[in-house]
Chains A and B, each alone.
Chain A
Amino acid sequence: MKPVKFLSVETFRLRENQVFLALTVLIGIFGGLSAVLFTLAIEGTKHVLFGSAPSALRLVAVPTLVSLVTGFLLAKFFPEARGSGLPQVEAAYHLENGVIPGRVIFGKFLTGALCVGSGHSMGREGPSVQIGAGIASLFGRWLKLSPQRVRSLIPIGAAAALSAAFNTPVAAVLFALEEVMGDMNAALIGSTVVASVTAVIIERSILGEETLFRVPAYHLAHPAELIGYAVLGIVGGIVSLMFTQGLLRTRGLFRRLPAWTRIIQPAMGGLAIGIMLLFVPQVMGVGYQYVDQALDGALALRMLLLFCGAKLVATIISYSSGNAGGIFAPSLFLGAMAGGAVGIGMHAIAPFPTGDPGAYALVGMGALFAGIIRAPMTSVFMIFELTQDYQILVPLMVANLLAYAIATRFQPKPIYHALLEQDGIHLPGPASRFAAGMSRASDIMEPVPLFIPEDSSVDQALALIANEPSDSFLVGSQRRIAGIVRRHDLEEAASGGTTGIPLAPLLISKWAHVHADHSLELVLQRFRENPGLLPVVSRGEATRVEGVITLEAILEFVRRAPQE
């Protein structure tokens, strides 16, 4: 039988890194394409269903009837495709090793396009992220990457999709790190950047260079105007609270309805939306054209207030009733309207010069995003990326901080986590992520109990380890490790009856190691590559051993770790 050719562990690792890099680029391409296709599908659906100037009957009938269909699909075939998609992506990342079933991708695309295209007041970014992350997960599993690698593809796919859907590559990277992973120091930042940039290149090559919004030129009219932005932050926090509380409570009500109604709940929401469309058609779908108008300062105060209130109610109904669509775009819509209204108000009453209402609408978008989505860094960079103007940073941070603080004070659980908890899924909180992220090899390692001298024979080595409980031992000295030897191998060699056999042929010379400051996550990953023990070596002198990590030490650390 022809022997199977194996590559060494090092070669294998290199290959996997190369595969990962190539896959990152491909995920960027497909993430971008999927987001663009999803956007086009929504527009196409909307055009087919409503035409150019829909009648009143059509406005009511379309969301109701289409929601009947999507309700059936979501109940019978794609239950994971309900809602935004972002909570599901986070759950997949934190709890399911990055596994997003292939049918979810298809189901989300289909039901998302139908729901948003049929007039439901929902966003396209959340579904795009779920589709992008799903594609990444699918590719990783096709390639039989390790579960850890598949998991790490999730934020890459999410960043790619969001980058293409919102045309802000930097904010997309930050969103993937801040919201999906919950770790701004993640080692995946390079890969997410590659995927995000690839996706936005793809998106721009198809849809053009134009930004999503026509953002007004920004300037702070007077230093005292920061008071106006502080007011906007407070208003943003209150509106965020109204939205999150309203959404969670209404969704709770829907969830308490009998199980058999689950299939018609989206249609109930569709009927309510249809009736709303008769009076305020501006709440239909994503609604970015009205955000544009608010940024233009083209909406009067009463229109801004009406749109803000109607969108808030419509989005709560659409989402709570179990349709497929996100809350990313609605939060920006609410922010633009609330911001524009505050801008007009400030202009009327402030004793100092104030900027255009459009500038307030822009900052309001960031404030509501920070208050609802709870990704303050992403919101700052997103608006900065839209304006490309440093002047906006200070007002933006003032408003974001206040909105975030108010929203967090009265609704501590972030909206996506709270939505998952309604579904009985508990994501690891920041505290547990912190513990995992901050635990170091130095917290786990123990002193090396025994070094087998390098020039020992097998017999001598066996005599040395006779009273030791471990199965693997370091050969060499504290200053220099020659390798690792396993008790099992020593005993096998000795069983031949020959004495004085040198130790060298039994040594495992290629072994993984960690440094004392390496994370627990890396320790666990490297531990699997070694036979039963992992040396902790000095950074300054890589051959010097500082300690060793054994399975027992890890178990002891886990036992000692504080419970969440």
Chain B
Amino acid sequence: MKEPALADRERCPACQGPLSGGSCPSCTAVPGVQIIRREIVLLVFIAVAAVPTYMVTRRVADLNRQRNAHIAAYWYRQGERQLREGKPEEAIASLREATANDHDNRGFAFALAQALGATNRDDEARLALLRLRESAPESPQINLQLARLSARNHDLPEALRYYHHALYGLWTGERVDEQRRQVRLELIHLLLDHKERSRALAELMALSTDAPRTVNVQLELGQLYVEAGDTSNALQHFGQAAQLDTGNVAALSGAGETAFQIGDYKTAEGYLSRATALDKSATRAAQLLETTRLIQASDPLAVHLSRSERIQRLRAALDQSARRLQCGGNVSIGSVKGPLQLEIDALLPKITPQNLREDPELLAAGAELVFKIEEMTSQTCGKPEGLDEALLLAGRQHGATER
């Protein structure tokens, strides 16, 4: 028996089979309108349900974050305590816990890096600091720690790079200038340790331009200039320190010594005499003062001398040189000793007021002979002392002046 023909509206849209009671018995399809209405309602329901679910999840995440921060703070305190108690390994473990619980806290991560560095775990510390630096390349503290690690590993170029990043980083808080100054001082010490005097001097120049005018700072600068080989600037800063504190023996001694080194014996005498007057136990200053006075008293070429005084000094100097020539010496001086002695012997009778008046060059020739003998013997007969030292230094001062 054949089935009756069906209109399209009486057929299932899915399988084209006949419908029964509005639904298809051959497949599970239901009327489209009903499907769509149900779908829309359910989709809207799910979408609406997403909002409170999101809010709840967010709240739970916030609570979790707070709890983790609390735990991290606990471990950080533990780590700090253990560091103070001299238990670095335990401290590192605690600080690791702190950072694991609070990834975002750079303070904890920095403390861990410092602890690692303090226990000579340089590679780990470096990696931890580099990781921190990725998010804060301008941080002076991170760069400074990296610089110190590099310096400790004798990687001077890397250390310089990080020191400069630290110096020109984004400093915050109070006493920013003082912190920067300390970093530059650290850098200068590093350069001096590595015999990089010219670079150290460049940093010193930068440091001294805006250095505070306090005794300690000026003293420190003076000392650094001495170490960097710039005695003129050293004298200037020691002098400023002495000016700021007239009773400061270190400043006076420093100024006296630097003045002595550059051959300004008059200035040196002034500072050194004040220093020794204030501190009788300042033996170095006392020795320098004695030498300074001896130089000033024995130099035949000193200014403002009477002719007789000059003759007396020259004769005494030639006598002293002749005596100096008698030192053991070595073969090389042995070969010139005789001619030099002959020169002295020939010159001594000529040194009279009359001859000096007629031949002013005689004074220069005599002094030159003295200085030449003192210079030569200082290299072959050991360190000169007393009058020999004074004549040697006087000769060097005149040589430098001529040059």
Q: Which residues of A contact B (CB under 8 A)?
A: 3-9, 11-12, 15, 19, 22-23, 26, 29-30, 33, 36-37, 40, 43-44, 47, 52, 139, 142-144, 202, 205-208, 210, 214, 216-217, 289, 292-293, 296-298, 356, 358, 488-489, 491-493, 495, 508, 528-529, 531
Contact = CB atoms under 8 A, between A and B. Distances in A.
Nearest to A27: B46
B124 A296 contact: yes
Contact of A30 (B35, B50, B68): B50
A301 to B, nearest CB: 13
Given A22-B43, A33-B50, A144-B38, A297 B5 contact: no
Contacts of B43: 19, 22-23, 26, 143
Contacts of A142: 42
A40 B31 contact: no
Residue in A47, A214, A493 with the greatest tally of chain B CB atoms within 10 Å: A214
Contact of A292 (B36, B39, B54, B100): B100
A289 B72 CA distance: 13
Contact of B67 (A3, A37, A47): A47
Contacts of A52: 71, 74-75
Given A29-B50, A297-B124, A5 B75 contact: no
Contact of A9 (B14, B67, B123): B14
Contact of B127 (A43, A297, A492): A297
A36 B14 CA distance: 40
A202 B54 contact: yes
Given A9-B14, A37-B60, A43-B64, A356 B32 contact: no
19 contacts: A6-B31, A7-B13, A9-B14, A12-B14, A12-B35, A15-B35, A15-B39, A26-B47, A29-B50, A29-B54, A37-B57, A47-B67, A144-B35, A206-B54, A208-B104, A289-B100, A297-B127, A495-B2, A528-B15
Given A5-B31, A6-B9, A289-B100, A40 B2 contact: no
Contacts of B130: 217
A507 to B, nearest CB: 11
Interface in B9-64: 9, 13-16, 19, 22, 30-33, 35-36, 38-39, 42-43, 46-47, 50, 53-54, 57-58, 60-61, 64
B358 interface: no
Contacts of A210: 103-104
A488 B38 CA distance: 34
Nearest to B56: A37
A15 B15 contact: no
Contacts of A492: 2-5
B98 to A, nearest CB: 11
A297 B32 contact: no
A447 to B, nearest CB: 25
Interface of B: 2-5, 9, 13-16, 19, 22, 30-33, 35-36, 38-39, 42-43, 46-47, 50, 53-54, 57-58, 60-61, 64, 67-68, 71, 74-75, 96, 100, 103-104, 116, 123-124, 127-128, 130-131, 134
Contact of B124 (A9, A298, A491): A298
Contacts of A531: 15-16
A214 B50 contact: no
A44 B64 contact: yes
Contacts of B3: 488, 492
A47 B67 CA distance: 9
B42 A143 contact: yes
Nearest to A506: B5
A4 B131 contact: no
Contacts of B123: 297
B131 A5 contact: no
